[in-house]
Structure formats: C-alpha cells, structure tokens
Structure 1
Amino acid sequence: MSHDPGLRRLALRTLLAAFPGATAPDWALQLVADGLAGHTLFGTNVVDAAQVAALNGTLRAARPDVLIAIDEEGGDVTRLGHRTGSPYPGNAALGAVDDPELTRRVYAAVGGDLAAAGVNLNLAPTVDVNTADDNPIIGTRSFGADPALVARHAAAAVTGLESAGVAACAKHFPGHGATVSDSHLELPTVDVPLSLLRERDLPPFAAAVSAGAQAVMSAHIRVPALTGELPATFSRAALTGLLRDELGFRGAIVTDALEMRGAAGAAGSIPLAAVAALSAGADLLCIGAQVTRELVEDVAAEIAVAAGDGRLPLERLEGAAARTAALAAWAATPRPAAASDLALGVAAARRAVRVEGSPAALTSPLVVQLVSGFSIAEGRVPWGLRPHLNGTEQIEIVAASTTPEQVAELAGERPIVVVGRRIHSMPAARTLVEKLAAGRPVGVVEMGWPSSWRPEGVSAFVVTHGASLANGRAAAEVMNLAHH
C-alpha cells in the first residue's frame, strides 16, 4: 500500500463519513482535522435541535469549513424530525398545491432550521419525476409526475434552501422516478432512450442547476442507453458528459451512499466503488450510514493507491478535492432562522389536502391506522393522525391479519376512518375498506402517493400527499377530529 500522506489527505477531502451516536467520537473529529470533507448526520445522531447544534459545534472546532450534511427533505424523509415527523409537508404536497413561492418559503424555513442546528449541506431536494406510480423509493418525495411542474418546484426549493446559506443537493441524477425497485437493495434499470430521459427526467436537474444548486447527487441506477452496464454513479457519460458538459453544472457532484447495493454490489467493495465514482467525475463521496474509522481509512487508502498507479488520474482527484473545498467555502456561513415556522408548515399542508365526499357523516369515529412498512430512506418515523386527535380513539392494525368483522366489532356503532399509506397497493387493505363501507359510514385518509382507487360506498376520501406531522394535522382538521 502507498503511504503517501499527501495523497491520503487529498483522498480524505473527497469523503463524507458518518458516525453513530449523539456526540462525535474522537476518531470522527481526528479525521476532520486530517482533512476529511465532512460527515453526514442520520437519525441516530439526532436527539433534539440543541444537541445537534452542540454536536456540530465540536465538528466545526476540528475544522471551521467542515461539511455537515443531512437528508432533510421535509415530509416523509426527515432527520431533524425523526422522533415526531417533519413540521413541513414534503414535495408531493407542495407539487399538489403548485405554488412555487410557497415551495420557496417552505424550503427557506427548512434551511433556516438546518442553519440553526449547524448543518450546511442538505441532501435535498429530490427532483425526480415520479412517473412510476408504484415506485417504492421516491413516491411522495417527488413534486409530481409532470417534468415542467417538477422543474418549477426544483428551482424554488434550491432558491429557498440556499437563501439560508445551506447548500442544496438536487437528487437523484439522472432521475430515479421511473424505477420500480429500490437502489438501496439492488441496481435498478431504467431502460429508455436518451431522448425520453432528456424530455422527462432531465428538465428538473437543468432547472436546479440554473437556480444555482451547489451540488447534484448521482443515483445508483443503470440507464443502458447512457451508462451501459454501470450505475450512473460510475458512468463518465452520465456525470461528466451529461451533467457537466451538457447541463453546464459547475458545482460538486455528490454520490448517493456507496454502501448501497446499487454501488458497492456493482463495484465489488466500497473502496473500489469510491475509485470508480471519482474516475467518472464525482467530487464528494457519501460512504453511507454505517461507517467506522477503518472503513474511511480503507477507502482513502484505495483512492491514494489508484492515484499512485494511474487508475485514477491525479488531476481528477485534485479537481474533486478543489470542488469539494469550493462547496465547503460557500457553505461555511449558514444563516439561521429565528425559529421553526410551524404555522407555515401546517398552512402549506392544508392547501395540499384534497377531500372527496363529505366527512360530516363521520362524527365520533373509530380511527384505524393501517401499519405500513417504511423505505430505508424514510426510516421509522411516526406518522398518522394520533398526535392531533381530540380524544377520538385510534387503533393500529395489520390489514393482512385483521378481518373486517374484528374491526366492526371494535367500532360498535361508530363510523370508521381508515388511515394508511398507499392503501391501494395492499389487497387485504382494499378488501377491508370495501367490506366495512358496505355496512356503515367509512372515511379513508390516504397519506401516501395517491392512486385512482376509490372504494365503493365510502363517505369521504381524503388525500394528503404525504405523512409528515403537518400533513397529519391538516387531515385531522378536515375530518373534524383535531384538538384545538
């Protein structure tokens, strides 16, 4: 192994690591002092705003221009709000309202919250065009299915976040919206001609670039017409040809987590994935959430060896380090907001609610929340109506192991309100709702990506376009179940 300290330091300048726990271990601070670009914070690092601010203060003390990144998309993907849910609705709700000024204001508020907590790089907004209704990983993280709408809101989101001095990172290039598999678990393929990619998936990225996005994140997806057998993260045609040369992007290209199966699985290991990504044109490499000092050193060593033996041209490594340094310089002075704008979040969520039928028949109901899985991106964040209810009883059930008769018995004479995410995608849940609606007043609150499914006989069907804390409040209000 080459032990050139200069190359190790250069390699560290391209890496975003992570660490477990509410305080930074010594090794995490030592690596920052040695030149590590920065760390990404995950839910395990977040107790509350004051603790995050203190944690980030220790990271800054190790080096003032350290990058501190987080996935704070608002809506269903939140790290700051992972214990309660986000106070802001996510992209699907903002796209449903389709008021770019509202989107800008919500993202400015998110940016202000992040700045107050000492975070300076937000791995958001998601600007994927969600064209596959059953997309397991994007869904409500997307502004919508229309490229022009998504482009309008991508620009507004970038402008809002960066008005707080927090760098925005538009993701997942060249577009994860048409996938029906999850790149955390495998390498999805989007087998479309480049002409369709240019029409459908690229306009939001072009808009984000024009709006001044400091960073763009690559996706671990294969687009054979563009990337051949490789994921976009390892594709020079995608990162250098399309994003740099064609879209004119001059900021930092950030990779999605290299530990994901779409990357590490394709390259053979995380260190080899890092070299492949840098060679393709990436500047800042997200190692992932499960990071140790040994892993960071292994990745840095592999990059150093590759730069020494010619697999990775030295000027490419220097260029990546320089772009990451420029990003860090831009993001070194975030501007905190006075306080979380909770009123703005609820007001925005109210505008995104769509009510069909009449909730009037559903007074004093039993609320039945359908337990659903969660994606790796979301993690296990609380959702639903419970925090907002005015004393109304709520139960949680697994649709596949509960009969309509059991639910009817629990409800007695009461109407029933069923709350779920992507209810249409679970046959047992559909049957449950349809059978219950045949015998009494039933309402449905859909908090996931909506579908055309409308069960016969329901009194009211409500679509929130997301499951954040703010969306839950807005839904409880329209169902007349909210406490005051």
Structure 2
Amino acid sequence: RFRTDGFTHLPAMRELGAHWMIDALGAMRRAAACGVVLAAELRACGVDFSFTPVLDLDWGDSSVIGDRAFHADARVVTVLAQSLMQGMARMGMAHCAKHFPGHGYARADTHIAAAEDPRPLETLLAADAAPFHWLAPGLRAVMPAHVVYPAVDAQPAGFSTAWLRIILRERIGFTGAIISDDLGMAAARAQGQSLSQAVLQGLQAGCDLMLVCNQSPVDGGRALDVLLREVDDALDRGQWSPDERSAQRRFDLLPSQPPIAWDDLMVSDTYLAALEAVFS
C-alpha cells in the first residue's frame, strides 16, 4: 500500500457504500472516479496493476476487511465495484477482485491467524460469492481467500481444487487469472507447509500466479532463493508443469495503453475531473 504524501488518499470503500444509500448514481460516479485516480497515479509511477476491488460483503465482524468493503448488500457491492473497475480500465489498468468466495463473514485476521467460515455452499454462493458470479464475464483476475470453508473443503480456498477449478472455473464460468493472496500470511501456511509446498499446492489447485510478499528483506532474500530452487526441483520431478493458457491469462493483465507521465497527469482534464468527483 502506498501511503506517501504524493498519492491521493482515496475514501474508504465503505464510504462509497454509505453514499449509495442517499445517492446511488453519485456513488457510482465517485467509484469510477476513484478508479481513474488510483490507476492514473500508480501508472504514472511505474505500477501497472492493483489488487482491487474488494468484493467481500460488509457483515460488520471482520476487522481485516473492515471499511475496505463497499456494503452488506451484494447488489450494491457489485455495482460499485463495476464502476471502480471501469475507472481503472479507462486508464489502462487491470484489476483483481478479492477475496473469493468471500472473507467478510470470517472474523479472524488471516494475516496472523487461521480463519474459518462454517456456512454451507449454497449460502455462500447466494450471498458472499454473488458479486464474483455476477461480474465474472468481465473480471480480469480473482484472488481467493485464505479462509477455510469446511462445508466445501478442508483447505483454504486458495489451495482448493474444489473452489478454484470446480466452483470458480466450471460453475461460475470465470476465465481470467487466479492470483493467490500473500503466502507469507499465517492462514496460508496454518497446516505447517513450507513456502515452496504452499506455492506448489496453489498452482496444482488452479492458481495462475502465487504471491510471496515481504520476503526480500529476510536473510538477504535467502527464503526466495530457496523457494525458486525448490520449485525448479519440483518442475524437474514432474510435480507441476507450465501451462500456456495460464501464461496467457497473466499476460492479459498487462496495461492496455501507455501511462500518462506525472507532470502531464497534473494538468490532465480527465484526471482533474476525476479528482474533483472523488471528493464531491
């Protein structure tokens, strides 16, 4: 997350959901404007992808999701997320909807603890997963939750063939990239697997890209060196193999147009209009 003074501090997504309750069209315009500002500023600084929007429902109990969620109503979440993504696309940036099939009901913070959602599959699909289903035809990427849904699988969704291949791909019809959440999170390795075992488990379950964050400063990056070596060894042993379709899904996330340089952005009519709309 970028928190320096140079970037615009966008409103929390929950604020947009509250705006919806008094002015739905105004909230949609603000969401689209947030997407424009977010994408334009990041791209001007060389960042070409953002792991947003959050499609989790705001059940009010999840401290880690908190005000990142738009609303408790899946329909409102869907419309505002769509508006945000349209704004991002206008500036040439792809998106990643998260955290499939929904993290908002699980109270635990998956950064520091294992999390579980005990509800049955049909309840999950009818409520929390609904925005993913409704938006599936236009979603570029999806990030699964490091949450266990025991009614479906004993593995967290990001390591579950049932969730990724059977439900997300086959039942929902999602065709974009699947990107794991950070494998450094406690919930990702709650069963004691190594970093390389988690990577392989995610790839085998159906992920196209595995995220390993905040490891470079640790032991001079040794953990990453070990990871790359062990994944290469697993490739040699036939435990996983590259997939051309998966590679294409990753390439499809690259920017669709050149960025606007920062100085030019500061006088861009499109950007300035969006900036005004964000705080209107």
Assess same fold via TM > 0.5: yes
Deviation at 1:163, TM superposition (A): 1.5
Tell me the residue number matched to 1:116. 44
Structure 1 residues 326 and 264: CA distance shift in structure 2, 3 A: same
1:259 pairs with 2:184: yes
2:191 and 2:252 map into 1 onto residues whose CA distance is 30
Aligned to 1:33: none
Q: What TM-score do the two structures reach when normalised by structure 1? A: 0.51
- Contact kept, 8 Å, 1:136 with 1:180, in 2: the verdict is yes
Work out which of the residue numbers 86, 97, 114 in structure 2 matches 1:159: 86
* Structure 1 partner of 2:23: none
- Match of 1:216, SS state, is strand
Query: Residue 66 of structure 2 corresponds to which residue in structure 1?
Result: 139
Residue 405 (structure 1) aligns with:
none
- Between the two proteins, what is the percent identity of the paired residues? 31
Residues 1:323 and 2:249 are matched in the alignment: yes
Q: CA separation in 2, counterparts of 1:303 and 1:267?
A: 17
Would you say 1:126 and 2:49 are equivalent positions? no
Task: State the 1:149 CA deviation.
Answer: 0.9
- The structure having more radius of gyration, on CA atoms, is 1
CA distances 1:2-60 after superposition (whole Å, capped 9, x unpaired): xxxxxxxxxxxxxxxxxxxxxxxxxxxxxxxxxxxxxxxxxxxxxxxxxxxxxxxxxxx
Task: Give the secondary-structure state (helix, strand or coil) at the position aligned to 2:173.
Answer: coil
Cα gap change, 1:267 to 1:254, in 2 (>3 Å): farther
Structure 2 residue corresponding to 1:148, chosen from 51, 67, 75: 75
Alignment of 1:105-254 (within 5 A): 105-131=33-59, 133-210=60-137, 212-226=138-152, 228-254=153-179
**Corresponding residue to 1:343 among 260, 276, 279:** 276
CA RMSD of aligned residues (A): 2.1
Q: Once the 2 structures are TM-superposed, how far is the Cα of residue 134 of structure 1 from its aligned partner?
A: 2.5
Aligned partners of 1:171 and 1:244: how far apart in 2? 15
Number of paired residues?
Answer: 262
Measured at CA, do residues 187 and 122 of structure 1 come closer, stay the same or move farther in structure 2, by a change above 3 Å? Answer: same
Match of 1:294 among 206, 214, 222: 222
CA distance in 2, matches of 1:172, 1:272: 22
Kept in 2, the 8 Å contact 1:154–1:207? The answer is: no
**What secondary structure is seen at the aligned counterpart in 1 of 2:265?**
coil
Cα deviation for residue 171 of structure 1 reads 0.7
In 2, distance between residues paired with 1:247 and 1:256? 20
2:81 and 2:54 mapped to 1: Cα distance? Answer: 8
Q: Which has the higher strand share?
A: 1
Say which is worse superposed, 288-297 or 239-248, in terms of deviation: 288-297
TM-score, with structure 2 as normaliser: 0.86
Match of 2:205 among 261, 280, 283: 280
Matched, 1:333 2:257: yes
Residue 278 of structure 1: how far off its partner (Å): 0.4
Show structure 2 runs of 5+ residues with no match: 21-26
Q: Any conservation in 1 of the 2:65–2:104 contact (CA below 8 Å)?
A: yes
